Structures are given as C-alpha cells and as structure tokens.
Amino acid sequence: MRGVLDLATGCYPAFLFGGSVGDQLPVFHLHEVTRDWLEPRLRYLAENGYRTVACDEMARLVIDGVRPAPRSIALTFDDAWSSAYEVAYPLLKQFGMRAVLFAIPARVADEGADSPFVTWAQLRELESSGVFDVQSHTRAHAMIFSGAEIVDFVSPQFAREPLLNRPIEADALGTPLYPRRSRMSDALRFHADEAAADRCRRHVAENGGAEFFGRAGWRRELRDVANGTQGRFESEAERRSTIRAELADARAILGARLGKTIAHVAMPWGIAGEIARESVDATGHVLCFAEQPLRRRGVRAHGDRFHLMRLNGKFLTCLPGRGRAWFVSAAR
C-alpha cells in the first residue's frame, strides 16, 4: 500500500519513467542476491558509466551540499546475508564498484555456524577490502509483540515466514503469536505470559509434536490451553531505553569487531518512530535511512538526514543508459 501511495503522489523519481536523474543521488537497497540476478545489473551500471559512492560521500551531500561526481549512485545491501560475501563481493570487485552493507551484529555468525548470514571473519574481510562500507542495521533487527490478543501459534508452517519477520519471542511449536511490529516503531512491547506459552508448547509436544497440527480444530484447542494468559506491556522508560540500546549497542559491537567508527544506520523494514528518530540522534549517528510517507525517494543536498529514502534494487536498470528498462518491466 505504501508503494501504491508513493506512486500515486509522485514520490518515485522521474528516471523510473524515462526522465532524468535530476539533482538527486539515487540510492538502491538490496537484500539476498544471486549471481544471475545481480551480474547483469552491475554490468548495466558499468557499461553506462555509473560510479558508486559510500556513506561518507552521501553525508557530504546531505549535510554540506557537496555533490558527488556525475552519474554517481549508491548500492546498499541490508542484513549481511551470506550472499553479500559469496555473490556480491566478487561481482563488485569485478566491476570496480563499492557498496554499503548494513549488518546486524546479533545475527552475524561465528565461524563454523550453520547460518544464512556472513561470519565475523567474512564481515571483517568485506570491510577491510574497501569494497564494502559496513554500517549498522540495529543490533538485532527485532520484531516484537505489540498486542495482548493471541492471533495464531507457531506451527510447522511458521518455518515459511521470512526469518527476520519472526518475533523475538517465537521459537518452539505451539508458542502463541500476538500482533507484531518493528522494535524501531513507537509500539510498546508486549511481554507474553511464559506460563501460558509453556502450557501450549508442552501440549503440542505431548500430542504428537508436528503431527498435532494435522488434527482438526488445533487452534481452538491451543486457545483453550492458553486461556487465562496474562502478560504485560513494557513501561515507557523500558521502551525508550531498549530502542536506544538497540542503536547504541550495534554501533559499539560493530565498531569493536571491525576497528572502525560506525556512523550510519538503516532502519529494519524502513520503520522509524519518533522515539527511534530521537535515539538515532542521541546515539551519535550521522545518517539514518528510513521510510517517510509522501516523501520523494532519493538523497538530496540538505535533506532530512534521519529519514533518507531508498529505491528497490530492481529499478537499477531504469537509470538512463543504453538498454534502459521502464518502470513496469523492471518492477516485475
């Protein structure tokens, strides 16, 4: 819905529809990538003379009005999936480009771990190579429970839920699920009743485990088991301190592990409430990438440095050049 609203109100830049780039610096966000998807897009940029910039050049544009060289763009990769190391890293080197990697320190893997994210050794290599400028994506990219009403339970189907969309409280089969929002929103976190959750998990384990979810009426059965659940909402002080810690701790952990100053952050899902915005400033960040309804998508001189807007990487080939794609075809 946000994308439709942005399209209807002219927030997407003109170059997506055949126009020029104008006075903006296009910044694109990417996540997991494959070679087959990324290589032709990087080749398009290289063949059409585009150069890539990192966060410091973006900061000079936003804060000081210093424009980068013509045909500059920025590539940003969120989450630090293993494909950043295995796919993007060699391709960026091949085409002589740089990118920003917004990493989640609580998700970065230790050596030998079975994880979809990069390891600390890989992250250090990416940073020291100069190909990637590693910055913060908050400490844990946390999704929290934000309401007291049970909306579902962890079942075998829950494994299909995108990993980073899973709330931090959800783990074993039978765990109750509540309304959820990003930790960086202004939502108060709901701390679920652990006694009720334990009853549900135990009930599932004692009645066949995964096979329990094949019986008719299993949701109604678990709701009866969870009956009487209590739980509590965090206090205002807890909300503020936890949001600030998510930002400050990410800076500290990444900085210590990589031996650099972490100055910039991208908000998970692009969500930043007023408390998060205040905390970004209070924790010493220079730039913050976050969504804002009805704002133009692009980085400009003297823009709002705590609400910088990015474009989906699928629109890279809409940039002016030979072999250019149109918005509709690129969006497919």
- Out of 1-5, 9-13, 44-48, least confident range: 1-5
Other Cβ atoms closer than 10 A to 48: 15
Confidence class for position 155, pLDDT limits 50, 70, 90: very high
Task: Quote the pLDDT of residue 40.
Answer: 97
Q: Is pLDDT of 162 > 90?
A: yes
Task: Quote the pLDDT of residue 295.
Answer: 77
Task: Report pLDDT digits (tens) over 16-30.
Answer: 999 999 989 999 999
Confidence class for position 5, pLDDT limits 50, 70, 90: low
pTM for the model stands at: 0.94
Confidence class for position 6, pLDDT limits 50, 70, 90: low
Q: What are phi and psi of 192, to 5 degrees?
A: -70, 155
Rounded average pLDDT over 119-142: 98
Can you give the residue ranges of every domain in the chain? 2-141+240-331, 144-182+193-230
Task: Report pLDDT digits (tens) over 196-209.
Answer: 999 999 999 999 99
Q: How many CA atoms lie within 13 A of 186 on its CB side?
A: 5
Q: Is pLDDT of 161 > 70?
A: yes
Span 2-141+240-331: which CATH code?
3.20.20.370
Q: Rounded to an integer, what is the distance from CA 106 to the centroid of its chain?
A: 13
Task: Quote the pLDDT of residue 11.
Answer: 81
135 to each of 15, 116, 289, 309, how far by Cα in Å? 28, 19, 11, 16
- Out of 2-16, 100-114, 192-206, 264-278, least confident range: 2-16
